[in-house]
Amino acid sequence: MGDSSTTENGVKPKTGIKVIIVGAGFGGLTAAIECIRHGHTPVIYESFPSLKVLGDIITFGPNAGRIFARWDNGSVAAKMRSISIDLQSYGFNIHKWDTGEIVLNQKTPPPNPKAPMFNGHRGELHEIVFNYAQEIGVEILLGQRVDNYWEDETGAGLVLADGTKVHGDVVIGSDGVRSKARTLVLGYEDKPKSSGYAVWRAWFSNKDMLADRETAHFCESGDTFNGWIGPDVHFLFSTLKGGSDCCWVLTHRDEHDIDESWSFPGKIADVKKLLHTWDPMCTKIISKTPEEKIVDWKLVYRDPLPNWVSGYGSAPGHGRICLLGDAAHPFLPTSAQGATQALEDGATIAVMLRKAGKENVRGALRAYQDIRYERVKKVQKTGETTRDMWHNTDWEKVKKNPEIIQFPREDWVFGHDAELHAEEMGDELIAKASEGLKAAKI
């Protein structure tokens, strides 16, 4: 079993495990940072040629905050905090879709420096994490498209688009929702399904909002968060960075053809048409959005994959390649946990590899799947339950008890400490996985 002692700066002694990571999203970057903390040597291969500040709003729950807060004594979390929404005084106003009345003001829990929450621009938060990974010595190779994967009894690696073969001890496929690694691990192509929903989303400056006295109040005195909940649709609108930036996400029914591309330019006219019977404030906000900022994002869905690790269960292979983050488990935005669960994966895998040691990376990967699988499946479900709870609201019941409509903040989701849990359960799970490997003579 691996060395659990810690050197002076909190980084564990070297394990000699070379971890090849595909994708520099939040999942891949976190896995790499945690690998450094636990003594491994990670290298990331990423297809994009340079870092770009992409996307719009993204949420990290306290269960992700607990991971960020451990990096560089909290300095990474402090940077992320400075550009994230602050709702301590405003909370979350939940409106009835047609009348616009505020049925509930959901208070924001007091800040917890050990487990902070972040809601901010995906690209800006990503840049902070990317820079930190580089600062602590993670090798990130950009412009490297991975074309294929290989593994045998003693090693695993990649084949890049230019034909270069890369060697390591273990490969983490954190290549996102359209993962190639997934096909390799499963041994077949797992096609995405339509979720039956899509989102229009936008991030824009407050200029036009400020110019109209009916909308200016959202941007004049700090950050705000408002949600309009209605039949089969919900519209979430936030202002951030003291009200200077605006962002909305509108979830609605859409039986799209999922063979198409998943992200298109959105049209203001379509959004307005959908909201024409809604509280006129929603249309006002839409009207202040520059059309080129609207994205029409189709939400695809996958049933939970049977395996995330090669050579495990029905999956072919030698047990040295695993999936992580969206590649293993895409989430619906209403769970607000997609990126957070990718972080939990990264924190877990680094602990398992250290505990199992270089000679037993296959036991580590199986233990990673065993400790994560049921939790992730349960959290994935919350994306559907929250959406369905909002889209089928019984307003008579809400009148009597407005709290039934609040955004769920459940302790089993938010209170989880992935690193601690892996430290506590790791030895037992690795021993069990090793028995399984022995019995299967793998």
Catalytic annotation, residues = 201
Residues 6+ apart with CB under 8 A from 164: none
Nearer to ligand FAD, 160 or 430 (CB): 160
Residue 342 binds ligand FAD, judged by CB under 6 A: yes
Dihedral sign for Cα atoms in the order 317, 322, 326, 329: positive
Say if residue 214 is exposed, middle or buried (CB neighbours under 10 Å; 0-12, 13-18, 19+).
exposed
**Cβ-based nearer residue to ligand FAD, 177 or 442:** 177
Q: What's the CA dihedral at 359, 365, 367, 372 to 10 degrees?
A: 160
The residue (of 22 and 376) whose beta carbon lies closer to ligand FAD is 22
The CA-based dihedral angle spanning residues 181, 337, 232, 103, taken in that order and rounded to the nearest 10 degrees:
-170
When the beta carbons of 233 and 324 are compared against ligand FAD, the nearer one is 324
Tokens of 144: 């490297």
Q: Please report how close the Cβ of residue 429 comes to ligand FAD at its closest, in angstroms.
A: 23
Report, in Å, the least distance between residue 295 CB and ligand FAD: 8
Under the binding rule (CB under 6 A), the answer on residue 24 touching ligand FAD is yes
Type of residue numbered 384: E
Contact between 176 and ligand FAD by CB under 6 A: the answer reads yes
Among residues 10, 116, 125, 6, the alpha carbon closest in space to that of 69 is found at 116
Does residue 145 touch ligand FAD according to CB under 6 A?
Answer: yes
Choosing from 32, 45, 209, 337, the residue that interacts with ligand FAD (CB under 6 A) is 45
Angle 296-301-303 from CA coordinates, rounded to 5°: 180
Strand boundaries in 78-125, DSSP class E: 92-96, 102-106, 118-121
What is the spatial distance between Cα 133 and Cα 206, in angstroms, rounded to a whole number? 32
Contacts of residue 373, defined as CB under 8 A and 6 or more positions apart, other chains included, come to 304, 308
CA 3, 4, 7, 10 dihedral sign is positive
Q: Does 28 bind ligand FAD (CB under 6 A)?
A: yes
Figure out which of the listed residues 326, 344, 417, 419 binds ligand FAD, where binding follows CB under 6 A: 326
Q: Nearest CA to 380 among 338, 428, 440, 422?
A: 338
Cβ atoms within 10 Å, residue 425: 17
Among the listed ranges 42-50, 135-143, 209-217, 375-383, the one in contact with ligand FAD (CB under 6 A) is 42-50
Query: Is 31 near ligand FAD (CB under 6 A)?
Result: no
230 binds ligand FAD (CB under 6 A): no
**Minimum CB–partner distance for residue 27 and ligand FAD (Å):** 3
The smaller minimum CB distance to ligand FAD, of residues 26 and 90, is found at 26
47 contacts ligand FAD (rule: CB under 6 A): yes
- Minimum distance of ligand FAD from residue 45's CB (angstroms): 5
Residues 6 or more apart whose CB falls under 8 angstroms from that of 425 comprise 371
Per CB under 6 A, which region of 19-27, 133-141, 210-218, 390-398 contacts ligand FAD? 19-27
Tell which positions 112-131 bind ligand FAD, by CB under 6 A.
Answer: 122
- The smaller minimum CB distance to ligand FAD, of residues 15 and 144, is found at 144
346 sits near ligand FAD (criterion: CB under 6 A): no
Nearer to ligand FAD, 177 or 437 (CB): 177
Using the rule CB under 6 A, is 26 a contact of ligand FAD?
yes
Q: Count the residues of the shown chain that bind ligand FAD, applying the rule CB under 6 A.
A: 29
Cα distance between residue 184 and residue 181, in whole Å: 5
Task: Say whether residue 175 binds ligand FAD (CB under 6 A).
Answer: yes
Q: Does residue number 174 form part of the binding site for ligand FAD (CB under 6 A)?
A: yes
**E strand spans, 8-164:** 18-22, 41-45, 57-60, 92-96, 102-106, 118-121, 139-141, 146-151, 156-160
325 near ligand FAD, rule: CB under 6 A: yes
| Residue 146 in contact with ligand FAD, rule: CB under 6 A | yes
C-alpha torsion sign, points 236, 241, 243, 247: negative
**Residue 269: other Cβ atoms inside 10 A:** 10
Q: Does residue number 250 form part of the binding site for ligand FAD (CB under 6 A)?
A: no
Placement of tokens 């769970």 in the chain:
335
From 180, 288, 366, 387, residue interacting with ligand FAD (rule: CB under 6 A): 180
Between 45 and 132, CB nearer to ligand FAD: 45
Give the closest residue to 59 by CA, choosing from 319, 350, 342: 342
Among 3, 4, 13, 48, contact with ligand FAD (rule: CB under 6 A) = 48
Q: Which residues are within 8 A (CB) of 96 and not within 5 positions of it... i.e. 6 or more apart?
A: 103, 228, 229, 230, 279, 395, 398
Binding mask 68-107 for ligand FAD (x = CB under 6 A): ----------------------------------------
Give the residue with the Cβ less far from ligand FAD, 24 or 236: 24
> Which residues are at the interface with ligand FAD (CB under 6 A)?
22-28, 45-48, 54-56, 58, 122, 145-146, 174-177, 180, 325-326, 333, 338-339, 342
